[in-house]
């Protein structure tokens, strides 16, 4: 847990909960390893010192979740929970994920990279965000094109590559995929604004509803598309796919509402506010069982 990314505090919270959950299961010795940005050599030494057989990465952000740590673990040749480096790298790059989604027939809002000169080939309103962050870090909604320049300047001070995505007004949901099977959807309703970092982790007034009422066919469409992008990226064990259901359509109009995939998270949070554990609990899978299931999957891969 830990890492050098902006989401380090979330990682420490998630990692602590995973360690506690695993200690509730039978037959495991659990060691907590807080890292910053280790070399392959120093990471191997730390794992050897604790006699580690399987690593459970609980890091969030480009370094810990986007393939860098996963490549190191593959080089060390130690089994680990979650997606491998290729899937992690592809999922962390939001533009690449969208390209893979379109090829797989998964609907995703139009988007473009922000040009070197700040040009954006989309009509407002749109969302500007880094291509390689999670937890809504650096996400900005732009309704007036005159505001875009200041937003781009602010974000480029910390992020090299930015993208713009068509803003979709509607309901925000997420569908977690566990071992290739979609779990029940969870709807997110922030008390105000949109579901940003503060609403995710710092506020207690964000409302979460597991298996909310949805227009006919929407849940099954989201579930099937979530599994399709999980498979297309080559994800393993657990991932979370974020969705928007566009306003308009449904029972009142007789028009099937549009559903739009936003991004894929290959190491979902495990905090008290996190969505994948909520969805798993709705299926009768508590956090210790969820975490142990993922460890067992990594062990089975190692045996194969």
Whether 263 is catalytic is yes
Whether 42 is catalytic is no
Q: Are 255 and 185 in contact (CB under 8 A)?
A: no
Residue appearing with tokens 């071992």:
179
∠ CA 208-213-219, rounded to 5°: 95
Catalytically annotated residue among 201, 219, 237, 274: 201
Catalytically annotated residue among 219, 265, 274, 292: 265
Whether 196 is catalytic is no
Whether 240 is catalytic is yes
Catalytically annotated residue among 17, 93, 269, 292: 269
Structure tokens at 6: 């902006």
Catalytically annotated residue among 133, 263, 274, 292: 263
Catalytically annotated residue among 83, 240, 274, 292: 240
Q: Are 58 and 14 in contact (CB under 8 A)?
A: yes
Whether 236 is catalytic is no
Q: How far apart are CA 159 and CA 162, in angstroms?
A: 7
Catalytically annotated residue among 135, 136, 176, 274: 135
Cβ neighbours, 10 Å, residue 13: 20
Q: How far apart are CA 243 and CA 304, in angstroms?
A: 34
Catalytically annotated residue among 7, 13, 132, 228: 7
Whether 250 is catalytic is no
Catalytically annotated residue among 13, 196, 237, 242: 242
Catalytic residues: 7, 135, 201, 240, 242, 263, 265, 269
């Amino acid at each position: 847990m830990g890492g050098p990314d902006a989401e380090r505090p979330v990682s420490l919270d998630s990692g602590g909960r995973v360690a506690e959950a695993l200690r509730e299961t039978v037959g495991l010795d659990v060691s907590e390893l807080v890292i910053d940005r280790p070399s392959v050599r120093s990471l191997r030494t730390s794992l050897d010192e604790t006699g580690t057989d399987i690593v459970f990465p609980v890091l969030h952000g480009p370094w810990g979740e986007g393939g860098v740590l996963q490549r190191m673990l593959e080089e060390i040749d130690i089994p680990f929970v979650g997606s491998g480096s290729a899937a992690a790298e592809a999922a962390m790059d939001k533009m690449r994920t969208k390209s893979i989604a379109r090829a797989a027939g998964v609907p995703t809002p139009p988007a473009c990279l922000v040009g070197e000169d700040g040009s954006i080939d989309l009509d407002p309103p749109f969302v500007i965000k880094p291509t390689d962050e999670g937890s809504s870090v650096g996400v900005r909604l732009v309704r007036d094109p005159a505001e875009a320049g200041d937003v781009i300047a602010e974000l480029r001070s910390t992020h090299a590559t930015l993208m713009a995505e068509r803003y979709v007004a509607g309901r925000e949901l997420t569908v977690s995929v566990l071992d290739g099977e979609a779990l029940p959807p969870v709807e997110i309703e922030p008390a105000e604004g949109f579901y940003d970092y503060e609403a995710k982790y710092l506020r207690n007034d964000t409302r979460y509803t597991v298996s909310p009422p949805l227009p006919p066919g929407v849940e099954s469409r989201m579930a099937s598309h979530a599994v399709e992008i999980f498979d297309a990226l080559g994800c393993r064990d657990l991932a979370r796919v974020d969705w928007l259901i566009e306003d308009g359509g449904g029972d009142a109009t007789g028009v099937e509402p549009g559903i739009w995939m936003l991004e894929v998270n290959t190491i979902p949070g495990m905090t008290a506010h996190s969505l994948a554990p909520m969805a798993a609990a709705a299926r009768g899978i508590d956090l210790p069982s969820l975490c142990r299931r993922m460890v067992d999957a990594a062990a089975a891969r190692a045996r194969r």
